[in-house]
């Protein structure tokens, strides 16, 4: 069998392919791009499907888990055949790289001489390459913000859905790019209440598992925004049940309780304000004043079901609510720790950290000046804020290219 004739099941399951700068077929093992070779990396999510055993039988190594030039995989622990020699590896071991192997043999076409049936995948359908790339980047972006699973099926039956299927909440929450900015803004806003911050500091592992906390929030927003009423109510009950034990004494000596209607009102107002502000500034479609009021009214339904006291139903009421809380707000010692943790970030990689920093600066720019003073964060000069805003306006469409917003439903 010729190398170009090989085609494994993993290709159909979402493998990711790149081509090298040279002509003619050339191959490489384990998803690493060596010497312009043809590269295959199997996304992590494709190993979690019902065809996992087929990947194991083909000895496919996930692209994300390769520790070295050709490295190995902690999950599968399979051997990889390299033609005339067969190198086995365990956790922490190392495989000879293509460059090293080629230098030793001094054969220009040594890659083509390998036993491709052991560890090399070939793709014959080039038409699917763009879709595979989009799928791969989509997965990487979603995983970076804690979204490791596909969203649950959305309910488009107006008689059953929790939120209006043609509502503004679905439009706002369906745009991941602007929600990333608004979500970070809401974290800064919420940490200004010492009782809310005490609950997070004393009952949360956010510093050890920040993506886990983001994932919980994202799952809750997804279930209540796009789910049927029973699904949404079940998510609300789970949150309330978890919050039953989130109680204690804050640094001011006063008791706090996560299900306190007054405290829930603050958290709700902070989130609603920042989600809406993020979309108004960076969302795909402009929102009118009526749209903004509608969004606040839709979110009030969720606030009432969570037990928040007197949630606002218009944008004007929302701003009044935020002003009403100002005497209670301050940056407590736990808030300082949380602020620094969020600002410094928890992502790795040069590009990822650059993007994260851009999102942080955009999120802080959403906050009202008085809250920045409380956060002890200087307001950036005008030219810096303009530059950050312009850069984020470029970033958001790129994110939408790979993670498209949910399509709104129009009722006739």
DSSP secondary structure of 212-232: HHHHHHHHHHHHHHHSBHHHH
Q: Which two tokens stand for residue 184?
A: 């970070």
Q: pTM to 2 decimals?
A: 0.68
pLDDT at 374 over 60: yes
Q: Give the phi and the psi of residue 8 in degrees, each rounded to 5.
A: -105, 165
In DSSP terms, 17 is beta-bridged to: 40
At 319, is the secondary structure helix, strand, or coil? helix
pLDDT at 139 over 50: yes
43 in Cβ contact with 136 (< 8 Å):
yes
The pLDDT, as a whole number, for residue 303 is 98
Pairing between β-strand 85-87 and β-strand 80-82 as defined by DSSP bridges: antiparallel
In 52-69, which positions are buried (b, 16+ CB within 10 angstroms) versus exposed (e)? eeebeebbbbbbebbeeb
* CA 102 – CA 175 distance, rounded (Å): 47
For the chain, the domains span 3-138, 149-402
Tell me which H or E stretch contains 63.
Answer: none
38 in Cβ contact with 24 (< 8 Å):
no
pLDDT at 43 over 80: no
The pLDDT, as a whole number, for residue 146 is 58
204-233 pLDDT, tens digit per residue, is 888 887 877 788 888 899 999 999 999 999
Cα dihedral: 247, 252, 253, 258 (round 10):
-10
The pLDDT, as a whole number, for residue 26 is 35
Between helices 129-144 and 382-402, what is the axis angle to 10°?
130
Q: What angle do CA 259, 221, 177 make, to 5 degrees?
A: 130
Sign of CA dihedral 317, 408, 133, 80: positive
Band the pLDDT of 4: cuts 50, 70, 90. very low
In DSSP terms, 247 is beta-bridged to: 257
Q: What share of the chain is helix, strand, coil (3-state, %, to 5)?
A: 55, 5, 40
Q: What is the mean pLDDT of residues 124-145?
A: 64
Q: Give the phi and the psi of residue 95 in degrees, each rounded to 5.
A: -100, 150
Q: What is the mean pLDDT of residues 159-182?
A: 95
The terminus-to-terminus CA distance of the chain in angstroms comes to 57
């Amino acid at each position: 069998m010729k190398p170009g004739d090989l085609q494994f099941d993993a290709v159909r399951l979402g493998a990711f392919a790149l081509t090298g700068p040279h002509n003619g077929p050339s191959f490489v093992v384990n998803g690493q791009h060596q010497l312009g070779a043809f590269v295959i990396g199997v996304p992590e999510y494709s190993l979690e499907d019902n065809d996992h055993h087929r990947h194991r039988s083909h000895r496919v190594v996930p692209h994300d888990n390769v520790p070295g030039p050709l490295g190995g995989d902690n999950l599968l622990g399979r051997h990889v055949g390299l033609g005339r020699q067969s190198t086995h590896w365990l956790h922490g071991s190392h495989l000879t790289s293509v460059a090293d192997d080629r230098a030793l043999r001094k054969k220009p076409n040594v890659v083509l001489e390998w036993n491709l049936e052991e560890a090399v995948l070939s793709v014959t359908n080039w038409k699917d390459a763009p879709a595979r790339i989009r799928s791969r980047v989509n997965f990487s972006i979603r995983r970076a913000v804690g979204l490791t699973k596909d969203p649950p099926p959305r309910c488009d039956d107006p008689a059953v859905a929790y939120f209006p299927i043609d509502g503004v909440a679905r439009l706002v929450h369906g745009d991941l790019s602007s929600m990333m900015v608004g979500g970070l803004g809401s974290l800064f806003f919420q940490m200004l209440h010492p009782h809310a911050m005490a609950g997070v500091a004393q009952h949360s592992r956010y510093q050890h598992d920040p993506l886990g906390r983001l994932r919980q929030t994202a799952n809750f927003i997804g279930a209540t925004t796009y789910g049927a009423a029973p699904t949404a109510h079940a998510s609300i009950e789970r949150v309330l049940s978890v919050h039953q034990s989130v109680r204690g004494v804050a640094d001011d000596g006063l008791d706090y309780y996560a299900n306190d209607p007054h405290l829930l009102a603050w958290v709700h107002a902070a989130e609603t304000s920042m989600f809406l502000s993020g979309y108004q500034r960076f969302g795909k479609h402009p929102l009118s004043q009526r749209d903004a009021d509608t969004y606040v009214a839709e979110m009030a339904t969720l606030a009432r079901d969570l037990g928040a006291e007197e949630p606002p139903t218009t944008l004007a009421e929302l701003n009044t609510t935020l002003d009403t809380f100002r005497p209670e707000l301050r940056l407590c010692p736990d808030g300082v720790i949380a602020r620094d943790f969020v600002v410094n970030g928890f992502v790795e990689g040069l590009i990822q950290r650059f993007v994260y920093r851009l999102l942080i600066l955009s999120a802080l720019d959403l906050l009202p000046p008085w809250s920045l003073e409380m956060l002890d964060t200087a307001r950036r000069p005008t030219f810096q804020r303009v530059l950050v805003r312009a850069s984020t306006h470029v970033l958001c469409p790129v994110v939408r290219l790979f993670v498209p917003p949910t399509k709104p439903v129009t009722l006739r």
